[in-house]
């Protein structure tokens, strides 16, 4: 039980991974929820720069020198000068669950957003109240008086099954106060293991640079009280700023690729990982959820800088999406590692002609798995009771 009485569920089975180029005062706003948990901080950029971590947290801090020392000749697979470096923390962790969050994300404020719905106050005026409060306090209580705990919501999402094969129109049937609707096949109501929980953001939405440029003042004030499973066979643009996953089921697929310094692309790290993770989850019979929890995303990054990082991704993705939609993995691929190595072969065969970058990326996907197996020797056996599609029971 933390100081505020918040329960720290599964605290021995969770690592919180934070990529950073800043001091970590933001942790003060999360102290009530994060203090019982172990943090893995991945410091990007200049390793000689000191990073201040508030007192009282249990953490490991790794900079680029540590990455080079620990991974040796494999360290080239970890990006430099891009939030993609966070996946080094996924590699090092020995825990079952990972929650990764950016250092400009705070506890979301839903009290006034729900108030707005019930009292019809003018949206814009409401949002200014919420913005001022969020800047002042950053911690909110929902109408039931409980503080909003994003990590707890992610763990609830991961601990309850997903329903990728048939859409439930009341959304997540495993949440309190809801269920499967009439007509939902009983043969599918057991659901499947949940591999990932994708949270969302109030205030600054995760828009690409062109959208940021044409809508510079747009803020997300819409708090949708829903968690839903992304249907099997459907891809989605994963964002890494408020994300949790089951490391034993899908960790090896959570490689955030080659981004940032020395690379032709940036800010596509989580999307790349999300596409790989989703096709592998579909193949292994796992589910992926999106929706609650929200975090309050506070920093607007520079759209012109972002455009320079993103522009190749904006046209490459028109070829990447059809590739991922056509991916088929053989039934011998019974673990995330095996799926990922097979996927790297298909990336090289089919995307190498889009740009030489994808040949390099495919090679680094293999290096990532080699590093994963070197640092996680016990991770070789299949972790799921899910059988690949078409396998005999
Ligand atoms: O070179 C870098 C830059 C940043 N970081 C750390 O990564 C996260 C995100 O950084 P920031 O909030 O400044 O960037 P955004 O444009 O808001 O978000 C982008 O990052 C990804 C989401 O995680 C996605 O590409 C965009 O949404 C912070 O913790 C920075 O400290 C870094 O490690 N290295
Ligand atoms: Mn940010």
Ligand number, closest to the Cα atom of 78: 1
Residue identifier of the C-alpha nearest atom 26 of ligand 1 = 267
Residue 144, pLDDT > 80, answer: no
- Distance of CA 391 from the midpoint of ligand 2 (Å): 43
Predicted ipTM beyond 0.95 = yes
Atom of ligand 1 nearest to the CA of 266: 25
Atom of ligand 1 nearest to the CA of 306: 16
- Distance of CA 102 from the midpoint of ligand 1 (Å): 7
- Distance of CA 90 from the midpoint of ligand 2 (Å): 20
pLDDT greater at residue 126 or residue 323:
323
- Distance of CA 199 from the midpoint of ligand 1 (Å): 16
pLDDT greater at residue 64 or residue 139:
64
Residue 134, pLDDT > 60, answer: no
Residue identifier of the C-alpha nearest atom 4 of ligand 1 = 83
pLDDT in tens, 268-290: 999 999 999 999 999 999 999 99
Phi and psi of 331, rounded to 5°?
Answer: -70, -15
Global pTM? 0.90
Q: Within 6 Å (CB) of ligand 1, which residues are found? A: 19-22, 44, 81-83, 85, 102-104, 206, 239-241, 260, 267, 269, 299, 301
pLDDT in tens, 205-239: 999 999 999 999 999 989 899 999 999 999 999 99
The pLDDT of 190-205, averaged and rounded, is: 96
The per-residue pLDDT for 310 is 96
d(CA 256, CA 271): 8
Sign of the CA dihedral running 7, 245, 229, 222: positive
Ligand number, closest to the Cα atom of 209: 1
Ligand number, closest to the Cα atom of 199: 1
Atom of ligand 1 nearest to the CA of 103: 29
Q: Which two tokens stand for residue 88?
A: 């080094």
The per-residue pLDDT for 118 is 47
- Distance of CA 181 from the midpoint of ligand 1 (Å): 40
Residue 121, pLDDT > 60, answer: no
Q: Ligand 2 is a single-atom ion; what residues have CB below 5 A from it?
A: 102, 104, 299
Ligand number, closest to the Cα atom of 87: 1
Residue 120, pLDDT > 80, answer: no
Cα torsion 174, 29, 223, 153 to 10°: value is: -10
The set of residues, in sequence order, having a beta carbon less than 8 Å from that of 5 and lying 6+ positions away, is none
Q: Identify the bridge partners of residue 15 per DSSP, sorted by sequence position.
A: 38, 98
Residue entry with tokens 């596509």: 268
Confidence of residue 300 (pLDDT cuts 50, 70, 90): confident
The per-residue pLDDT for 108 is 76
């Amino acid at each position: 039980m933390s100081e505020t009485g918040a329960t720290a569920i599964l605290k021995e089975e969770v690592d919180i991974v934070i990529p950073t180029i800043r001091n970590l005062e933001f942790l003060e706003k999360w102290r009530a929820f994060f203090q019982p948990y172990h943090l893995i901080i991945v410091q990007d950029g200049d390793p000689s720069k000191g990073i201040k971590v508030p007192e009282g947290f249990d953490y490991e801090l790794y900079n680029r020198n540590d990455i080079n020392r620990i991974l040796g000749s494999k360290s080239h697979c970890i990006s430099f000068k891009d939030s993609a470096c966070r996946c080094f923390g996924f590699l090092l962790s020995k825990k079952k669950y990972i929650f990764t969050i950016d250092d400009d994300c705070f506890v979301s404020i839903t009290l006034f957003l729900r108030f707005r719905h019930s009292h019809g106050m003018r949206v814009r005026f409401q949002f200014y109240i919420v913005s001022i409060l969020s800047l002042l306090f950053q911690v909110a209580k929902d109408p039931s008086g409980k503080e909003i705990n994003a990590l707890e919501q992610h763990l609830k999402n991961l601990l309850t099954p997903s329903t990728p094969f048939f859409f439930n129109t009341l959304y997540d049937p495993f949440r309190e106060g809801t269920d499967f609707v009439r007509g939902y096949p009983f043969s599918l109501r057991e659901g499947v293991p949940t591999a990932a929980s994708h949270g969302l953001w109030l205030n600054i939405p995760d828009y690409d640079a062109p959208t940021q440029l044409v809508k510079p003042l747009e803020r997300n004030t819409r708090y949708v009280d829903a968690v839903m499973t992304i249907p099997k066979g459907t891809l989605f643009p994963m964002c890494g700023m408020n994300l949790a996953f089951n490391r034993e089921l899908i960790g090896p697929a959570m490689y955030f690729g080659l981004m940032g310094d020395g690379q032709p692309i940036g800010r596509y790290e989580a999307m790349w990982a999300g596409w790989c993770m989703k096709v592998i989850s579909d193949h292994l019979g796992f589910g992926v959820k999106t929706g609650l929890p929200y975090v309050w995303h506070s920093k607007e990054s520079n759209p012109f800088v972002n455009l320079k990082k993103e522009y190749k991704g904006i046209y490459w993705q028109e070829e990447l999406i059809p590739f991922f939609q056509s991916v088929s993995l053989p039934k011998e691929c019974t673990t995330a590692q095996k799926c990922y190595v097979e996927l790297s072969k298909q990336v090289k065969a089919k995307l190498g002609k889009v740009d030489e970058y994808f040949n390099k990326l495919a090679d680094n996907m293999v290096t990532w798995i080699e590093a994963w197996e070197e640092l996680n020797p016990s991770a070789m056996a299949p972790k799921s009771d899910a059988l690949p599609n078409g396998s005999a029971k």
